[in-house]
Chains A and B, each alone.
Chain A
Amino acid sequence: MLHFEHLTIGYADRIFIKNFTAHFLPGQLVGILGPNGSGKTTLLKTIAKLTPPTEGRIILGGMPLQAFSEQNLARVRSYIPAELTCAWPLATRHVLEIGRSADHRNWIETLDLGNLLDQTFNTLSSGEKARVLLAHSLMRSPKVILADEITSHLDALYQDKLMDLLRDYTRTGKVGVVVLHQPDLAYEFCDQVFMIEDQKLHLLSKKPPQLKGQILS
């Protein structure tokens, strides 16, 4: 469903990943690890079509990313940034309404957002914001869900809960790509774990000894 074809990402003067080819099937949750400034966020933004790749291309459901209109792409992929501030003091319930999400299901209940709905979004803690943004994202039922450091500000309980939710969601035939700072979470929940290093995406075997329990940041 998601192909990278000879993908090079970064900027003219700063290449993060060089000539990378990969193929992700529906139902896979992919974890991306890497030190600060290694290009994790840029990789996600490239998949989200927020940044163009330097070389190569991304193919989504058989169609090159560049061929999608913004509107069509919005129906199939969602992206959760690491940090978000609303320009206006909107209540959380109104933030959830932005962009006309079609599917409200029980995400509000699942993510325990009931008591946050009437609070101003900008006053929420980073962890609470992450839950709200995940709900906002899932309400749009994306085929590809991209999440940047969504678990970084969460307590252990919610970290597991959110990762569990993302895994269950991708099991329904979707692809998830998540940037993580905690290798243990990546190994526990992700089907494939990659590490960005030396301009390459390394596929990591599960729980390699040099990374065990170590927090990369």
Chain B
Amino acid sequence: MRKLSLLLGLVLTLLMGGSLFIGTLPLDLLLQNASVLWELRFPRMLIAVSMGVSLGLTGAVLQGFLRNPLAEPGIMGISSAAALGAVMVIALGLGGSHLFAVPLAGMMGVVGVTFFLYKLMQKHPNPLTLILTGLALNSLLGALMTLILTLSHNPYASLEIIFWLLGSFAHHSLGQVAFVIPLSVAGWIILWRLRFTLETLSLGEEMAIVLGASPKKMYGFLILGMALSLGPLVSLVGVVGFIGLLVPHMLRPFVDHKPADLLLPSALGGGIMALAADMVVRLLSNHIDLKVGVLTSLMGTPFFLYLLLKQPRSSHATF
């Protein structure tokens, strides 16, 4: 696990440095305009990396907690909930009213949906219910967002919302970044502390309790950690799908399938994937205005279908 994390950390660091020099502006012009570097590319890089880390980490934690490789914040409607919260605030014209308004609304959305999913999992403990509920939630939340868009009288705001929903790391100020990232880091720390619970849950909820974990109590921390690490970021960036599904799944064999050891590599891998996707978007930006959320969904959907079809019938999580 250490070697893998070191390697991923190294790649991430190189990409973080390299990403500052990728874009439409030629290098010589860039060096003359240091402000482009620090005011545009630097915050963009930070946002991309934190979003990736949050997605990779929440994906790994959710999969470990629910003992289901199909769990992911996007599929379960958690990202959409953050988006809906944010969209409501934007549509009400409160977006600019307060620096905290949009991120807070995003967090509320995540808390609401995660709590609902928690209650549901207690009553109907099977992964199929979870996935189908996620599907239903996603389409409900999507419909609500469309409704808000249609009801909005300001065409400019509607356009903003549409572009925002597609997910992009661009156009965020250092000030916004400085507000959102500490919240995410707090969420990462909370999720990181769930390692023991994840490890013992491999043997089922009963054995987790026998071994000294309290999975039911830890559900609260799971919800809080996800709300903090995803809510504010999603409310700023929009929905970036499938990183939380792909990254943990690809890295799991390298940590011998140990759910707790997956967290750090998955967080780093998520950062790499989000940043790499954003770099592709930027390299192509002269030709098409591709949104990063569109790119990750294009890559992720076939992979998700593959996983769904490959999953053994008997696999089950018990909650």
Q: A: which residues have CB within 8 A of B?
A: 45, 48-50, 70-71, 73-75, 77-79, 81, 84-91, 94-95, 98-100
Q: How far is the CA of A81 from the CA of B203 in the complex (A)?
A: 10
Contact bitstring B252-263, A, C-beta under 8 A = 1, else 0 = 100011110000
* Contact yes or no, A87 B204, CB < 8 A: yes
- Selected from A48, A50, A74, the residue in CB contact (under 8 A) with B212 is A74
* Contact yes or no, A90 B209, CB < 8 A: no
* Contact yes or no, A88 B199, CB < 8 A: no
Least CB distance from B76 to A in Å reads 18
Residues of B24-60 at the interface with A, using a CB-CB cut-off of 8 Å, are none
* Contact yes or no, A79 B210, CB < 8 A: yes
A73 contact set on B, CB distance < 8 A: 212
* Contact yes or no, B210 A50, CB < 8 A: yes
- Selected from B200, B211, B259, the residue in CB contact (under 8 A) with A88 is B259
Q: How far is the CA of A74 from the CA of B256 in the complex (A)?
A: 26
B228 at the interface (CB under 8 A from A): no
Least CB distance from B191 to A in Å reads 18
Q: How far is the CA of A24 from the CA of B131 in the complex (A)?
A: 48
Q: Assign chain B's interface to a size class.
A: 20 to 34
Q: How far is the CA of A96 from the CA of B202 in the complex (A)?
A: 12
* Contact yes or no, A84 B207, CB < 8 A: yes
Q: How far is the CA of A107 from the CA of B201 in the complex (A)?
A: 23
* Contact yes or no, B211 A74, CB < 8 A: yes
Q: Write 30 A-B pairs (CB below 8 A) sorted by A numbering.
A: A48-B210, A49-B209, A50-B209, A50-B210, A70-B213, A70-B214, A71-B212, A73-B212, A74-B212, A78-B210, A81-B206, A81-B207, A84-B203, A86-B202, A86-B203, A87-B201, A87-B202, A87-B259, A87-B317, A88-B67, A88-B252, A88-B257, A88-B258, A89-B257, A90-B258, A95-B203, A98-B199, A98-B200, A98-B202, A98-B203
Least CB distance from B109 to A in Å reads 29
* Contact yes or no, B206 A99, CB < 8 A: no
* Contact yes or no, B204 A90, CB < 8 A: no
Classify the interface of chain B: helix, strand, loop or mixed. Answer: loop
A78 contact set on B, CB distance < 8 A: 210
Q: How far is the CA of A79 from the CA of B317 in the complex (A)?
A: 20
Least CB distance from A83 to B in Å reads 10
* Contact yes or no, A75 B212, CB < 8 A: yes
Least CB distance from B276 to A in Å reads 27
Q: How far is the CA of A95 from the CA of B257 in the complex (A)?
A: 11
Least CB distance from B267 to A in Å reads 19
* Contact yes or no, B204 A99, CB < 8 A: no
Residues of B206-257 at the interface with A, using a CB-CB cut-off of 8 Å, are 206-207, 209-214, 252, 256-257
B67 contact set on A, CB distance < 8 A: 87-88
Least CB distance from A139 to B in Å reads 11
Least CB distance from B59 to A in Å reads 15
A77 contact set on B, CB distance < 8 A: 210
| Most central of B200, B206, B207 by chain A CB within 10 Å | B207
9 closest A-B pairs by beta carbon, nearest first, are A74-B212, A99-B211, A87-B67, A88-B257, A71-B212, A79-B210, A70-B214, A87-B202, A89-B257
With A45-B206, A88-B202, A90-B258 given, can you name 7 additional A-B contacts, CB distance below 8 Å? A73-B212, A74-B212, A86-B203, A90-B202, A90-B257, A98-B199, A98-B200
B203 contact set on A, CB distance < 8 A: 84, 86-87, 95, 98
Q: How far is the CA of A71 from the CA of B200 in the complex (A)?
A: 12
Give the residue name and chain of the B residue nearest to A48 (CB). B210
B204 contact set on A, CB distance < 8 A: 84-85, 87
Q: How far is the CA of A94 from the CA of B258 in the complex (A)?
A: 8
Q: Check A98/B211 contact, CB under 8 A, given A87-B67, A87-B204, A88-B202.
A: yes
Give the residue name and chain of the B residue nearest to A75 (CB). B212
Q: How far is the CA of A77 from the CA of B212 in the complex (A)?
A: 10
Least CB distance from A178 to B in Å reads 16
B206 contact set on A, CB distance < 8 A: 45, 50, 79, 81
Give the residue name and chain of the B residue nearest to A73 (CB). B212
Q: How far is the CA of A127 from the CA of B258 in the complex (A)?
A: 24
Give the residue name and chain of the A residue nearest to B212 (CB). A74
- Selected from A79, A84, A99, the residue in CB contact (under 8 A) with B200 is A99
B209 contact set on A, CB distance < 8 A: 49-50, 70
Least CB distance from A95 to B in Å reads 7
| Most central of A48, A49, A98 by chain B CB within 10 Å | A98
A87 contact set on B, CB distance < 8 A: 67, 201-204, 259, 317
Q: How far is the CA of A78 from the CA of B207 in the complex (A)?
A: 9
B199 contact set on A, CB distance < 8 A: 98-99
B210 contact set on A, CB distance < 8 A: 48, 50, 74, 77-79
